A = this chain, B = another copy of it.
Amino acid sequence: MSRGRLEAFTDGVIAILITIMILELKVPHGTDWTALSGTVPVLLTYVLSFVYLGIYWSNHHHMLHMTDRVSGGVLWANLHLLFWLSLVPFATSWMGENHYAPVPTALYGAILLLCGFAYFILEKTIIAVQGAGSRLAEAVGSDTKSIFSVALYASAIPLAFLNQTIAHGIYVLVALMWLVPDRRIESRLRRQD
Contacts and interface: CB of A to CB of B under 8 A. Distances in A.
Interface residues of A, number: 60
A1 interface: yes
A172 interface: no
Protomer copies: 4
A155 B129 CA distance: 39
A186 interface: yes
A79 B18 CA distance: 10
A111 to B, nearest CB: 12
A89 interface: yes
A23 interface: yes
A20 B2 CA distance: 26
Interface of A: 1-2, 5, 7-9, 11-20, 22-23, 25, 27-28, 31-33, 35-36, 47, 50, 54, 57-58, 61-62, 65, 71-72, 75-76, 79, 82-83, 86-87, 89-90, 93-94, 97-98, 101-104, 107, 179-181, 183, 186, 189
